[in-house]
Structure 1
Amino acid sequence: MSHSNDTAADLRILPLDAWHRAQGARMVPFAGYSMPVQYEGILAEHQWTRTHAGLFDVSHMGQLVFSGDDVAEALEALLPGDIRGLKPGRMRYSLLLDDKGGILDDLIVTNTGDALAMVVNGAMVEADVAHIRAHLPASVVLHHITDHALLALQGPSSAQVLEAIGLSGPGQLGFMEWGRFEWHGASLGVSRSGYTGEDGFEISVPHAILAELVDVLAAHDEVHPIGLGARDSLRLEAGLPLYGHDLTSKIEPVEAGLGFAVARRRREQGGFPGHGRIAAVLEQGPACRRVGLLVEGRLAAREGAVVLAGDTPIGTVTSGGFAPTLGRPIAMAYVDAAHAALDTPLSIDLRGRRLAATVTTLPFVPHRYHRKGAA
């Protein structure tokens, strides 16, 4: 995980900054904010989230709400997803695209019943808001929510913890479902979603009760605070792309392995940026693909390392690190489509040293989302 180059004077402060420091967090610059990278240690926090419940502060993410006439149609002019077909209480992963089909950001859209909400990446909030506002019709209003924090409670004990603190409704949600719930006189927007591959929830919390909620959650025996370091190792094991690393405006959805975000109706009808290029790639296949790599030895391949087939460069690592669950280094990379098949042997150039690697399926660790009706 790379940190931004912000100087301390430029950094924004999270509403829970003092709380994080009181918990012993080591703070680093990330996405324009001073963010907790770890508390007791990345490995311990990673394993705690896999076995209990990890509490993440993701208040750097942008929370946007859209209202007005024909709001779904307005968003479909910017995103390739089926927004018109999104039912109340449901969520959908989507992509903000430029005119060439390049990915400007990845995001989640939620139908809250009376509006459409969107969560965008922290480092991209200002650029996204400016881009979206420039393309919205006058009948649609974008409201950037700044009086709510965003918490993520992730791991197999998450639903049990929410029940124990008197927030029982979210436990009835399935993966990628959302609801509004009352807690201590305040209204919380809660979704069953997250970025770790584990079951869990994301909670939009009014600042007025934020300190109270965090203290109650952290007091539960199953809950530990978790920093950016473990968030990154968890999402890498889950094969989830990180914007600015695995996704950029130079990459289109199909080569990123995100063709599912281009809805069938939208593929046929178009009407979103880059439709022509994306339709051609869907038909002909991409020139390169995002793949998982199992790396031999103990050294971790890092972003920017060249991937080789024999002595020929055929790709670049975009995320890499040690996978605590697997006990070995892993990486995601873009490689030429001819070398993207499962079990293809490749190597990675790490500052002149060759690391043997093999193409594997994503995710590296199976997702454990709570899907309704699943065994």
Structure 2
Amino acid sequence: MRNFNLTPSRRVRRTPFSDRVERAGVEAYTVYNHMLLPTAFQSAEADYHHLKRHVQVWDVSCQRQIEVRGRDASRLLQMLTPRDLRSMMPGRCYYTPMVDETGGMLNDPVTVKLAEDRYWISIADSDLLFWVKGLAYGFRLEVDITEPDVSPLAVQGPQAEELMSRVFGASVREIRFFRFSRLPFQGQELVVARSGYSKQGGFEIYLEPAELAEPLWDALMTKGADLQVKAGCPNLIERIEAQLLSYGNDMTRENTPQECGLGRFCDTLTAIGCVGRDALLRTAMEGPVRQIRSLAVEGDPVAPCLDPWPLFAPGTTTQVGQVTSAAWSPDFNTNVAIGMVQLSHWTGGTQVEAETPDGRRTSIVQNSAFIQ
């Protein structure tokens, strides 16, 4: 596969951390929500080993925030998601699949409730802002919808809690999973949540104002020197092992939350007001006919999965799904993959064949993610 340079443009924004990221030796970027997102420092495999053993600092400013604020904020949030938000209290973070009127996935953000009338929607890679503004305008809701200048910085890995306690104090250890606290840093209060796009444990710091970006980065690097802290980024291998889904890769608007294995986040009976509720009720009654599964793809390390690989019933031309993400896993000594598999073949242990760039490979559907 040939590599191409990324042409600079004002349409692709740098972040408050970009100078530090480049000083740390970033090797590759992608574009995510019209911003730069680092994708490699040493290599995917080297970064993977380091993430699983030490601690990394990730520039994830591309996780843009949609702020919804006003008297109808809670009503609008419930219109967006089939997850029942009535019991959500300030200080909580909810994983919230967001759907259109057909029940198709538009985004899978983390929603942060800052106050009874104020939320941040920390979005994956899609222009959800326009959908949110359209609903608010169409229903004449009393809300203000903005994209605040908030730049998330993730601290991920087994030593993340120790590093964060050195920078923010011992109280950071008291933050529970998918909750946040406001913690002081250089005269400002920052929203710090125990969350992140890895299964190694960690935190996300919602940075504002931008002037604190380099002091915060430098403090984490200085305090974590003996913990072998390094700059890092979301890791393809680790996220496939953990079956962390990537919107636009593993799921699109063509898929419902149930197909994406996110049914546990859907309260379609009680999430009254969700625009996709009626469609999802029908899906829930009938059940999905395809669903996301982890797979082990046999053989030598596979090439990148740039386009979906068809999955076939063994020895036939009958397609039973597709692989959407794949990578070689050093820890599991196999190619790990995520794919959408039809009901007839999604049971754990079922053998299928993936049409990879170098030919068909025997693949085994897994009962769960690859977690050690």
TM over 0.5: yes
* 2:43 paired residue number: 41
Distance between the aligned counterparts of 2:158 and 2:253, measured in 1?
Answer: 35
Distance between the aligned counterparts of 1:61 and 1:54, measured in 2?
Answer: 17
* 1:78 paired residue number: 80
Distance between the aligned counterparts of 2:35 and 2:76, measured in 1?
Answer: 31
Could you give the per-residue CA deviations for residues 260-295 of structure 1, whole angstroms, max 9, x where no partner exists? 1212xx424643122222112212211111111011
Answering whether residue 106 of structure 2 is matched by residue 120 of structure 1, we say: no
Displacement after TM superposition at 1:214 (Å): 0.2
* 1:371 paired residue number: none
Answering whether residue 336 of structure 2 is matched by residue 330 of structure 1, we say: yes
* 1:144 paired residue number: 147
Distance between the aligned counterparts of 1:4 and 1:358, measured in 2?
Answer: 34
- Which secondary structure does the structure 2 equivalent of 1:214 belong to? helix
On the 8 A contact 1:5/1:29 being kept in 2, the answer is no
Map 1:186-335 onto structure 2 (within 5 A).
186-206=188-208, 207-219=210-222, 220-221=224-225, 222=227, 223-228=229-234, 230=235, 232-263=236-267, 266-268=268-270, 270-300=272-302, 302=305, 303-310=307-314, 311=316, 312-335=318-341
- Which secondary structure does the structure 2 equivalent of 1:194 belong to? coil
Answering whether residue 352 of structure 2 is matched by residue 351 of structure 1, we say: no
Distance between the aligned counterparts of 2:167 and 2:271, measured in 1?
Answer: 47
Map 1:119-198 onto structure 2 (within 5 A).
119-121=122-124, 123-124=125-126, 127-136=127-136, 137-146=140-149, 148-198=150-200
Distance between the aligned counterparts of 2:283 and 2:6, measured in 1?
Answer: 37
- Which secondary structure does the structure 1 equivalent of 2:181 belong to? strand
On the 8 A contact 1:73/1:84 being kept in 2, the answer is no
* 2:66 paired residue number: 64
Identical-residue share of aligned pairs (%): 24
Displacement after TM superposition at 1:5 (Å): 9.9
Distance between the aligned counterparts of 1:6 and 1:165, measured in 2?
Answer: 35
Distance between the aligned counterparts of 2:174 and 2:180, measured in 1?
Answer: 10
Question: Quick one: structure 1 residues 269 and 54, their matched pair in 2 at CA, closer, same or farther if it must change by over 3 Å?
Answer: closer
Question: Quick one: structure 1 residues 189 and 269, their matched pair in 2 at CA, closer, same or farther if it must change by over 3 Å?
Answer: closer
On the 8 A contact 2:64/2:151 being kept in 1, the answer is no
- Which secondary structure does the structure 2 equivalent of 1:76 belong to? helix
Distance between the aligned counterparts of 2:71 and 2:114, measured in 1?
Answer: 15
Question: RMSD of aligned C-alpha atoms?
Answer: 2.0
Distance between the aligned counterparts of 1:314 and 1:359, measured in 2?
Answer: 12
Question: Quick one: structure 1 residues 5 and 82, their matched pair in 2 at CA, closer, same or farther if it must change by over 3 Å?
Answer: farther
Amino acid at match of 1:13: R
Displacement after TM superposition at 1:19 (Å): 1.4
Displacement after TM superposition at 1:67 (Å): 1.6
Distance between the aligned counterparts of 2:341 and 2:109, measured in 1?
Answer: 24
| Unmatched tracts of structure 2, length 5 or more | none
- Which secondary structure does the structure 2 equivalent of 1:145 belong to? coil
Distance between the aligned counterparts of 2:348 and 2:75, measured in 1?
Answer: 39
Question: Quick one: structure 1 residues 276 and 180, their matched pair in 2 at CA, closer, same or farther if it must change by over 3 Å?
Answer: same
Amino acid at match of 1:195: Y
Question: Quick one: structure 1 residues 5 and 74, their matched pair in 2 at CA, closer, same or farther if it must change by over 3 Å?
Answer: farther
* Number of matched pairs: 356
Q: What stretches of structure 1 move > 6 A for 4+ residues in a row?
A: 3-6
Answering whether residue 370 of structure 2 is matched by residue 364 of structure 1, we say: yes
* TM-score normalized with structure 1 length: 0.90
Could you give the per-residue CA deviations for residues 17-63 of structure 1, whole angstroms, max 9, x where no partner exists? 22112111113232233332222222222111111111110001111
Question: Quick one: structure 1 residues 268 and 208, their matched pair in 2 at CA, closer, same or farther if it must change by over 3 Å?
Answer: closer
Could you give the per-residue CA deviations for residues 348-369 of structure 1, whole angstroms, max 9, x where no partner exists? 1113611111000332125xxx
Amino acid at match of 1:260: R
On the 8 A contact 2:75/2:273 being kept in 1, the answer is no
Bigger drift between 300-309 and 233-242 goes to 300-309
Map 1:102-113 onto structure 2 (within 5 A).
102-113=104-115
- Which secondary structure does the structure 1 equivalent of 2:97 belong to? strand
Distance between the aligned counterparts of 2:12 and 2:170, measured in 1?
Answer: 36
- Which secondary structure does the structure 2 equivalent of 1:77 belong to? helix
Question: Quick one: structure 1 residues 33 and 143, their matched pair in 2 at CA, closer, same or farther if it must change by over 3 Å?
Answer: closer
Question: Quick one: structure 1 residues 304 and 269, their matched pair in 2 at CA, closer, same or farther if it must change by over 3 Å?
Answer: closer
* 1:369 paired residue number: none
Distance between the aligned counterparts of 1:70 and 1:56, measured in 2?
Answer: 34
* 1:28 paired residue number: 29
Could you give the per-residue CA deviations for residues 191-235 of structure 1, whole angstroms, max 9, x where no partner exists? 00011112100001121211011011122122111135x2x2221
Distance between the aligned counterparts of 2:273 and 2:187, measured in 1?
Answer: 43
Displacement after TM superposition at 1:113 (Å): 2.9
* TM-score normalized with structure 2 length: 0.90
| Unmatched tracts of structure 1, length 5 or more | 367-375
